[in-house]
Structure 1
Amino acid sequence: MVTILALGAALAYGVADFLGGAVARRSTALNALAWCVPTGLAAVLLAALLTGGSAGPAAMAWGFGAGLAGGTGLITFYRALARGPMNVVAPVSALAAAVLPVGVGTLRGERLDATVLAGVLLCLVAIGLVSMEASDNGTDEPTTTGARRLLDSGPLMAGVSGACFGIFFVLLKTAGDGGGLWPLVAARAGNLVIVVAALLFMARVRRGETGPRVAGRTLIGFALLSGTLDAGANALYLLAVRDGLLSLAAVLTSLYPAITVLLARFAYSERLRTIQRLGMAIAIAGVALVTVG
Structure 2
Amino acid sequence: MLSATLGLIGAIVYGGADFLGGLASRRLGAVRVTALSAVSGLALIAVALPLIGGTFSAEAVRLGILSGVTGAIALSLLYGCLAIGPMSILSPLTAVVSALVPLTVGLAGGERLSLVGWIAIGIALVAVVLVGFVPEKGAARPRLLGLAMAVGAGAMIGLFLVIIDRTPDDSGLVPLLLNRATSAAIMVTAAAVLVVVTQLRGPRSPDAAAADGHGPAVLPAWAERAVLLAIACGAVDAVANVLLLLALRAGELTVVSVLTALYPAGTVILAAVLLRERVAPVQVVGLVLAFVAAGMLALA
Q: What's the TM-score, normalizing by structure 2?
A: 0.88
**Aligned to 1:243, which of 228, 250, 253?**
250
1:68, 1:193 within 8 Å by CA — same for their partners in 2?
Answer: no
**Aligned to 2:173, which of 169, 172, 181?**
181
- C-alpha distance in 1, partners of 2:177/2:169? 15
1:33-52 CA distance string (max 9 Å, x none):
12111000110111112222
| 1:41 partner letter | L
Q: What RMSD over aligned residues (CA atoms) do the two structures have, in Å?
A: 2.0
Q: Secondary structure at the match of 2:105?
A: helix
**Aligned to 1:263, which of 254, 270, 284?**
270
2:69, 2:182 within 8 Å by CA — same for their partners in 1?
Answer: yes
Question: How far 1:11 moved relative to its partner?
Answer: 1.9
1:144 corresponds to which residue? none
1:60, 1:175 within 8 Å by CA — same for their partners in 2?
Answer: no
1:129 corresponds to which residue? 130
Residue 273 (str. 1) matches residue 280 (str. 2): yes
| 1:107 partner letter | A
Question: How far 1:99 moved relative to its partner?
Answer: 0.8
2:32 corresponds to which residue? 31
- C-alpha distance in 1, partners of 2:75/2:138? 24
1:73, 1:162 within 8 Å by CA — same for their partners in 2?
Answer: yes
1:40 corresponds to which residue? 41
- C-alpha distance in 2, partners of 1:263/1:162? 23
Q: Secondary structure at the match of 1:67?
A: helix
Residue 229 (str. 1) matches residue 230 (str. 2): no
| Range with greater deviation from structure 2 (23-32 or 185-194) | 185-194
1:32-85 CA distance string (max 9 Å, x none):
112111000110111112222312111211111011101111121111111001
**Aligned to 1:220, which of 218, 223, 227?**
227
2:164, 2:245 within 8 Å by CA — same for their partners in 1?
Answer: yes
- C-alpha distance in 2, partners of 1:74/1:181? 21
- C-alpha distance in 2, partners of 1:137/1:199? 33
| 1:128 partner letter | V
1:9-28 CA distance string (max 9 Å, x none):
11211111101100001220
Question: How far 1:217 moved relative to its partner?
Answer: 4.5
- C-alpha distance in 2, partners of 1:74/1:208? 26
- C-alpha distance in 1, partners of 2:150/2:185? 21
2:12, 2:264 within 8 Å by CA — same for their partners in 1?
Answer: no
Residue 199 (str. 1) matches residue 191 (str. 2): yes
Residue 157 (str. 1) matches residue 157 (str. 2): no
How many residues get paired? Answer: 283
1:8 corresponds to which residue? 9
- C-alpha distance in 1, partners of 2:18/2:148? 22
| Range with greater deviation from structure 2 (212-221 or 100-109) | 212-221
| 1:255 partner letter | L
| 1:176 partner letter | P
1:86, 1:136 within 8 Å by CA — same for their partners in 2?
Answer: no
- C-alpha distance in 2, partners of 1:241/1:120? 16
1:87-113 CA distance string (max 9 Å, x none):
111011111111110000001000011
| 1:169 partner letter | L
Question: How far 1:232 moved relative to its partner?
Answer: 0.7
Residue 169 (str. 1) matches residue 158 (str. 2): no
Runs of 4+ in 1 over 6 A off after TM superposition: none
Question: How far 1:208 moved relative to its partner?
Answer: 5.3
| 1:249 partner letter | V
| Range with greater deviation from structure 2 (264-273 or 30-39) | 264-273
- C-alpha distance in 2, partners of 1:251/1:220? 32
1:69 corresponds to which residue? 70
2:27, 2:215 within 8 Å by CA — same for their partners in 1?
Answer: no
Q: How does 1:76-91 map to 2 (within 5 A)?
A: 76-91=77-92
Question: How far 1:131 moved relative to its partner?
Answer: 0.4
1:173-198 CA distance string (max 9 Å, x none):
11221211101111111211331242
| 2:152 partner letter | V
